[in-house]
Amino acid sequence: MSPRPALDTVVVIGGSVAGLLAAAAVAPHAARVVVLDRDPLPAGPAGRPSTPQARHSHGLLASGRASIERLLPGFTDRVVADGGIGSGDLGRSGRWWIGGGLIVDCDLGVRGLSASRPEFEHVVRELVRDRPTVEISGGTDVLGLRGDAARVTGVHVRGPDGRDRAITADLVVDASGRAGRAARWLPRIGARPPVEDRIAVGVRYATVHVVARTDDLAGRSFLVAAATPAVPRGGVALRQEDGSWTITLFSYLDEPVPVDPDGLEAFARSLVTPDLATLLTGRTLRHPAWAYRFPDCRRRRFPAPPAGYVAIGDAVCSVDPTFGQGMSVAALQAVALRTELDRTGSAAG
Ligand SMILES: Cc1cc2nc3c(=O)[nH]c(=O)nc-3n(C[C@H](O)[C@H](O)[C@H](O)COP(=O)(O)OP(=O)(O)OC[C@H]3O[C@@H](n4cnc5c(N)ncnc54)[C@H](O)[C@@H]3O)c2cc1C
């Protein structure tokens, strides 16, 4: 007979990448894991109202892929089976323009994976859903925490039927993202709010999808053109599972990024490489360009978190999106949560 898990119920606030990975991390240590998201959750790879960033390019770093694979074995193969590109060694499968120069092809010893963000989230959600002790509830808004300054004991929620109820938990994982309400929720139970640092970056994005040809970029699966002090603009192109390139152009300090086709191409020509302009020239855009503004990076420190409460993902740290780190940071945090639970048997204390 397997031993009784250390935790009875774990509630995860937020069913996006960080919340789902947190659920995978705690599952071996809990009798029941309840993932709550305010959005109705799609059956397949699709966008959602609360994650508007998901339609822009999302690169998954090698550490993120490896960490997700550790928590959810089979992740890479499932994404590749859906058409994602398991692009081999990251030093050879893409083109890196860093610091104004093209990095020479070389083996880095790390493996990449290219797909859309909705696809990554979909596969993670399906693999987590396969765990018999995990319940994922969409359309469920968390209204606040239960407990006091010493210990969080659960959450108050409004379900899809509009009814309010309480859920008791030994551990509440707050994965409610950058817009998370910990600063309001914690003081309401007498606990100290997080202290927030902000660094203004004024990043602006414009993203389009165009049909990819196999010989584009000599068959590479991605291109990164990083900003430099001399050219504080950049772009990225990633092959997607549906046979398109997602192309994102970005600027800093709120320099406008055009969204009309001619303006996009002209902007792409102003980067450190003409490669992205080449991918746009003569191609039909699959949709009018999508714009996004990311005003600042945020870091929240929790000076005296109550027992039974831990925050993860963008709820703790939301970094400059052009670095493509958010999902990987969330995955590394989820692995750290698993490691802590393995060590102590319970992070709830
Ligand atoms: C423009 C842009 C581009 C990016 N590009 C990349 C990239 O290339 N690579 C990368 O790794 N990362 C990238 N990121 C970051 C990445 O999107 C996030 O780091 C990643 O989604 C993990 O976030 P999260 O799960 O913590 O929060 P989110 O994805 O924001 O999800 C929070 C979830 O919590 C739910 N929620 C919130 N409040 C409540 C509540 N009260 N009750 C119930 N549910 C609630 C929301 O519905 C949502 O599903 C980018 C971000 C932006 C803005």
- The pLDDT tens digits of the residues spanning 55-84 come to 999 999 999 999 999 999 999 999 999 999
Largest separation between any pair of C-alpha atoms in the chain:
66
**Residue nearest to ligand 1 atom 4, measured at CA:** 321
Q: Which residue matches tokens 């058409």?
A: 83
Q: Is the pLDDT of residue 3 over 90?
A: no
Q: How many angstroms separate the CA atoms of 340 and 22, rounded? A: 12
CATH for the 7-86+127-197+299-344 domain, from 3.30.70.1450, 3.50.50.60, 3.90.79.10, 3.40.50.720: 3.50.50.60
SS3 13: strand
CA of 250 to the centre of ligand 1 (A): 19
- The pLDDT tens digits of the residues spanning 161-220 come to 999 999 999 999 999 999 999 999 999 999 999 999 999 999 999 999 999 999 999 999
CB–CB of 126/35 below 8 Å? no
The two tokens of residue 193 are 């709010």
Among 176, 184, 185, the mutation site with the greatest number of ligand 1 atoms within 8 A of its Cβ is 176
Q: What residues line ligand 1, using a CB cutoff of 6 Å?
A: 13-19, 36-39, 50-51, 53, 56-59, 141-142, 175-178, 180, 205, 292, 294, 313-315, 321, 324-328, 330
DSSP H or E stretch at residue 69: helix 62-71
**Residue nearest to ligand 1 atom 1, measured at CA:** 53
Q: Is the pLDDT of residue 279 over 50?
A: yes
Provide the pLDDT for residue 346.
Answer: 61
pLDDT averaged over every residue in the chain: 95
- The pLDDT tens digits of the residues spanning 100-158 come to 999 989 999 998 899 999 999 999 999 999 999 999 999 999 999 999 999 999 999 99
- The pLDDT tens digits of the residues spanning 232-273 come to 999 999 999 999 999 999 999 999 999 999 999 999 999 999
Closest atom, ligand 1, to C-alpha of 58: 8
CB–CB of 56/213 below 8 Å? no
CA of 214 to the centre of ligand 1 (A): 31
Cα 245 to the center of its chain, rounded Å: 19
